[in-house]
A and B are shown apart, each in its own frame.
Chain A
Amino acid sequence: MFWINIISGIVIIGILGFFGIRELITDPVYFLELVLGGLTRGSIYALIALGYTMVYGIIQLINFAHGEIYMIGAMTSLIVASVLGLWGWNSAVIVILAFVFAIVYSCAYGFTVEKIAYKPLRTAPRLSALISAIGMSLFLQNYVMLAQTPEFMPYESLIPDYNFWEPYAHIMTSVELTIIITTIVVMILLGMLIKFTRIGKAMRATAQDKVMSSLVGINVNKVISTTFVVGSATAAIGGVLIACHVGQINFMIGFLAGLKAFIAAVLGGIGSVPGAVLGSLVLGISESFFTGYFWSEYEDVFAFTILVVILIFRPSGILGRKETEKV
């Protein structure tokens, strides 16, 4: 099995590499655009996928409502930015406040969702929690739709065009640059949080064994809440950035983005933080190539196909570890 993996890996990389090099030689600028576009896309996926993978790592639940948290982040930033804009505030202040509100509100929603829909079901069968998560996702979508509007709302980018970036803007916009840089910074911060802080250590311990962690004095409820809050925060950043990039949002944006991010998390190995980042980048870039060179209508089909293939041939993902069920 080990050798089959290695050989199939080499074959796939070989084929992809051949076509990649061919395309690179024929049209390098287009190729580069696709790579950068894929990186941008992958960065957004990564910001969302982190929440999935962290929550899954700790309570083994696919948090279906996570995409909605991301949507609520984007929506809050839109509302705050519009209100402050009409009040005529300074644009730099607006940017900061929009981000802050988006993050704070997403965290609050993430926290509340966990308390309502998942905490009472922690000892219940997995199916119950999963159904509850789907219900929550449906509820939040419709809540935003009814309270706001079912239509797409134009979103004025919060991120200005940087002057220094002017010469390269035709390949990659300022927004895209911001997205990639922000993602890198967030990843580094998050990595430090998990690796070095007390709460990060508690998170890792809880992911390993909840009962044991509570015995050594870790407040498991607090750790789980923190996980939701941290995941929501990164999702909110992703939400605001993607809204700037795409230029319009509605209540449904969380659905597909959430799914894609989940696929990315599975691709990288669910439960693994570096895996989520790697999986997101791989998914983003390969999607970008697929739509760029093949059919753009089937973009989502491609992502799901990747999911199915990964789950069949390597369910533990690129970086995930195989788990054995305890008896």
Chain B
Amino acid sequence: MVTKKEIKQSFWIALWFMVLTFPIMVIRVNTIKNIIVWRWTNILWIGIAGFFASLVWNYLLRLKEEKKKSDTKEDIPFVHRLLQNDRFRTPFLAAIAIFFIIYPFAFPMYHTSIMISALVYVMLGLGLNIVVGLAGLLDLGYVAFYCVGAYTYALLNLHFGISFWLVLPISAVFGAMAGTLLGYPVLRLRGDYLAIVTLGFGEIIRIVMENWDELGNGPRGIGNIPPPSFFNFELNQHQNVIYIYFIVIALVLFTIFFVNRLENSRIGRAWIALRDDEIACQAMGIDKFKTKLTAFALGATWASLGGVVFAAKTSFINPMSFTIFESIAILCVVVIGGMGSAIGVIAGALVLILVPEYLRAMAEYRMLVFGALQVIVMVFKPEGLIQSVRKIYKFEKVEE
């Protein structure tokens, strides 16, 4: 239902946006050739879009208000209902398993390669989800640990010839160490400072890698990073991609298993409690600092593992792969998918990474859409697309 007042209001808002975006959307100056291009049609689109966006915005706000007032039980997301239902759980999981097993054989290498990137994001997302989603610590420098992992593999392999499989645990240790080292001073601070400091740290790592030629070849990066070894067999390029694909699948499964167990453990509960209320949490006997540090270090470990896989997959790394925007993209995956919800993060990573890859026309707008989605999700649905559902405990009648 749209009232006349709302239409009038939306009209003014549309007008406001037309004026607001006028210089940047309509005029395009080329200061070198001294040409001005006037793009009048843009303003028309802005007007129309602004009008409808305002209507929808108001409608959604009202919906949110009403939902807050009414005492209806929140609905459990569809996926969770499917997983809770005994009849559908097995076929559902089996279908997913079959899909992912056939995938590399059914589609050309290019698609497998894209799927690998998406799955690496699933790993990174689940790792960051521990930090942001469960423990409520905003980490904007997550990519720093990803960078640590990638360079650990590249450098250890370059100088000592250590294989992928050995580097995996080593990098996990490095990641955890890096996380602890950074977290130790920083996690004592209030939450929002953490965001800035981690952001700064992420940039520091990148700048250092760019300028320190002796360590990582500076901006030229390190190439010829070997793919994982498969016993002693020589694999051709296609086989290699498939091999990495299954390694990533295995790692993702391991991550899901791990996160799932953590979430409903003593530590996992402490993280969520800490996110909800720090002071009450301390009053319940939880060591705030130690609990935060565990989450932070664990997240870093996962980023580091993801970095190793990334390096092995692309066989070339340079500091440009580890910019702040990478961190923000991973954050988007977590936020939009659903903070604290493993299933949400997995779905978020697959959608947010795969869609722009396939809709080339959209790729340009990727970050724009990510930014807008972050705002929209936070305003209207802070729990994300697929919200987390807490474990249900069953009790038999207790005999007295």
In the complex they form, whether A and B have CB atoms below 8 Å apart is answered with yes
Contact of B185 among A124, A137, A141, A308 (CB under 8 A): A308
The answer to whether B23 touches A76, judged by C-beta atoms less than 8 angstroms apart, is yes
| Chain B residues, Cβ within 8 Å of A108 | 19-20
| Chain B residues, Cβ within 8 Å of A86 | 34, 36
Q: Which residue from chain A places its CB closest to the CB of B42 in the assembled complex?
A: A147
Stretch at the interface among A4-12, A39-47, A283-291, A295-303: A295-303
Task: Indicate whether A301 sits within 8 Å of B207 (C-beta atoms), given known contacts A62-B195, A138-B328, A156-B31.
Answer: yes
Contact of B328 among A117, A121, A134, A308 (CB under 8 A): A134
The answer to whether B193 touches A311, judged by C-beta atoms less than 8 angstroms apart, is yes
The answer to whether B20 touches A109, judged by C-beta atoms less than 8 angstroms apart, is yes
The answer to whether B365 touches A135, judged by C-beta atoms less than 8 angstroms apart, is no
CA distance A141 to B366 in the complex (A): 12
| Chain A residues, Cβ within 8 Å of B32 | 154
Interface check B371, CB cutoff 8 A: yes
Q: Which residue from chain B places its CB closest to the CB of A144 in the assembled complex?
A: B24
CA distance A83 to B382 in the complex (A): 43
The answer to whether A120 touches B20, judged by C-beta atoms less than 8 angstroms apart, is no
| Chain B residues, Cβ within 8 Å of A327 | 279
The answer to whether B31 touches A82, judged by C-beta atoms less than 8 angstroms apart, is yes
CA distance A144 to B371 in the complex (A): 13
B25, B138, B368, B375: residue with the most chain A Cβ atoms closer than 10 Å: B375
The answer to whether B211 touches A298, judged by C-beta atoms less than 8 angstroms apart, is yes
Interface check B378, CB cutoff 8 A: yes
Q: Which residue from chain A places its CB closest to the CB of B205 in the assembled complex?
A: A301
- Which residues, 147 to 181 on A, are CB-close (under 8 Å) to B? 147-149, 153-156
Contact of B203 among A79, A141, A300 (CB under 8 A): A300
Task: Indicate whether A131 sits within 8 Å of B374 (C-beta atoms), given known contacts A76-B23, A76-B24, A259-B196.
Answer: yes
| Chain B residues, Cβ within 8 Å of A311 | 185-186, 189, 193, 197
Contact of B136 among A76, A127, A308 (CB under 8 A): A127
The answer to whether B204 touches A304, judged by C-beta atoms less than 8 angstroms apart, is yes
The answer to whether A120 touches B379, judged by C-beta atoms less than 8 angstroms apart, is yes
Interface check A182, CB cutoff 8 A: no
Interface check A307, CB cutoff 8 A: yes
Min distance, Cβ B45 to any Cβ of chain A, angstroms:
12
Interface check A194, CB cutoff 8 A: no
| Chain A residues, Cβ within 8 Å of B367 | 138, 141-142
CA distance A155 to B108 in the complex (A): 48
Task: Indicate whether A154 sits within 8 Å of B31 (C-beta atoms), given known contacts A105-B23, A131-B331.
Answer: yes
Contact of A139 among B25, B27, B368 (CB under 8 A): B368
Interface check B86, CB cutoff 8 A: no
| Chain B residues, Cβ within 8 Å of A307 | 196-197, 200
Min distance, Cβ B20 to any Cβ of chain A, angstroms:
5
Contact of B370 among A135, A144, A315 (CB under 8 A): A135
Q: Which residue from chain B places its CB closest to the CB of A140 in the assembled complex?
A: B371
| Chain B residues, Cβ within 8 Å of A146 | 364-365, 368
Contact of B192 among A62, A139, A259 (CB under 8 A): A62
CA distance A68 to B34 in the complex (A): 25
Q: How large is the interface on A (under 10, 10 to 19, 20 to 34, 35 or more residues)?
A: 35 or more
Interface check B140, CB cutoff 8 A: yes
Task: Indicate whether A120 sits within 8 Å of B211 (C-beta atoms), given known contacts A82-B31, A307-B200, A312-B185.
Answer: no
CA distance A60 to B192 in the complex (A): 9
The answer to whether B372 touches A130, judged by C-beta atoms less than 8 angstroms apart, is no
- Give the A-B pair count, Cβ closer than 8 A: 178
Interface check B333, CB cutoff 8 A: no
Task: Indicate whether A131 sits within 8 Å of B192 (C-beta atoms), given known contacts A138-B370, A311-B186.
Answer: no
Map CB proximity to A onto B1-34 as digits: 1 under 8 Å, 0 otherwise: 0000000000000001001110111011101101
Map CB proximity to B onto A249-264 as digits: 1 under 8 Å, 0 otherwise: 0000001000100110
Interface check B335, CB cutoff 8 A: yes
What count of chain B residues pass the 8 Å CB interface test?
Answer: 60
The answer to whether A308 touches B197, judged by C-beta atoms less than 8 angstroms apart, is yes
| Chain A residues, Cβ within 8 Å of B374 | 131-132, 134-136, 138-139
| Chain A residues, Cβ within 8 Å of B34 | 82, 86
CA distance A82 to B24 in the complex (A): 13
- Which residues, 184 to 235 on B, are CB-close (under 8 Å) to A? 185-186, 188-193, 195-197, 199-201, 203-204, 207-208, 210-211
Q: Which residue from chain B places its CB closest to the CB of A116 in the assembled complex?
A: B375
CA distance A75 to B331 in the complex (A): 28
CA distance A146 to B369 in the complex (A): 12
Interface check A222, CB cutoff 8 A: no
Task: Indicate whether A83 sits within 8 Å of B207 (C-beta atoms), given known contacts A126-B192, A127-B136.
Answer: no
Interface check B373, CB cutoff 8 A: yes
Min distance, Cβ B23 to any Cβ of chain A, angstroms:
5
| Chain A residues, Cβ within 8 Å of B331 | 131, 134
| Chain A residues, Cβ within 8 Å of B27 | 79, 83
CA distance A297 to B212 in the complex (A): 10
Interface check B61, CB cutoff 8 A: yes
9 closest cross-chain pairs (CB), A and B: A135-B374, A139-B371, A138-B371, A304-B200, A142-B368, A132-B378, A82-B29, A135-B375, A297-B211
Having A112-B20, A146-B364, one finds 6 other A-B pairs with CB under 8 Å, namely A61-B192, A62-B192, A131-B138, A135-B373, A140-B371, A300-B207
Residues of A in contact with B (beta carbons under 8 Å apart): 60-62, 72, 75-76, 78-80, 82-83, 86, 101, 105, 108-109, 112, 116-117, 120-121, 124-132, 134-144, 146-149, 153-156, 255, 259, 262-263, 266, 295, 297-298, 300-301, 303-305, 307-308, 311-312, 315, 325, 327
Q: Could you show 9 A-B contacts with beta carbons less than 8 Å apart?
A: A80-B23, A108-B19, A108-B20, A116-B379, A125-B136, A127-B132, A136-B371, A138-B367, A301-B203
